[in-house]
Amino acid sequence: MSAIFDFELQDAGLLHRDESEDDDVIEFGTEEGDADPCEIANFYLCEITLALQHLHLQGIIYRDLKPENVLLDSEGHIKLTDFGLCKEHIQEGAVTHTFCGTIEYMAPEILTRNGHGKAVDWWSLGTLMYDMLTGLPPFTSDNRKKTIDKILRGKLILPQYLTPDAKDLLRKLLKRPVAQRLGSGSLDGEQVKAHKFFKHINWDDVISRKLEPPFKPILASEDDVSQFDKKFTASAPIDSPVECTLSESANRVFQGFTYVAPSILEDVYSQQSRYLTTVSQPRVIKARSPRKATSRGFSPRTTHLHLHNTHLPSHRHGGVGHSNMEDTEMMIEIG
CA distances in angstroms from 87 to 113, 167, 169, listed in the order given: 15, 30, 26
11 assigned to active site = no
- Which ranges of the chain have pLDDT less than 50? 1-5, 7-9, 12-17, 19-23, 28, 30, 285-335
| pLDDT at position 226 | 79
- The pLDDT of residue 230 is 83
Nearest to 16 by CA among 29, 27, 2: 2
SS (HEC) of 277-309 = HHCCCCCCCCCCCHHHHHHCCCCCCCCCCCCCC
Tell me the three state secondary structure of residue 81.
coil
Alpha-carbon radius of gyration of the chain: 27
Q: What is the pLDDT of residues 82-136, one digit of tens each?
A: 888 999 988 877 889 989 889 999 999 999 998 999 999 999 999 999 999 999 9
Which domains are seen in the chain, by residue range? 20-224 (1.10.510.10), 263-334 (no CATH)
How far CA 123 is from CA of 51, 157, 161, 196, in Å, comes to 15, 16, 22, 18
pLDDT for position 215? 87
In this prediction, residue 322 carries a pLDDT of: 39
Residue in 22, 64, 121, 131 annotated catalytic: 64
pLDDT for 160 equals: 93
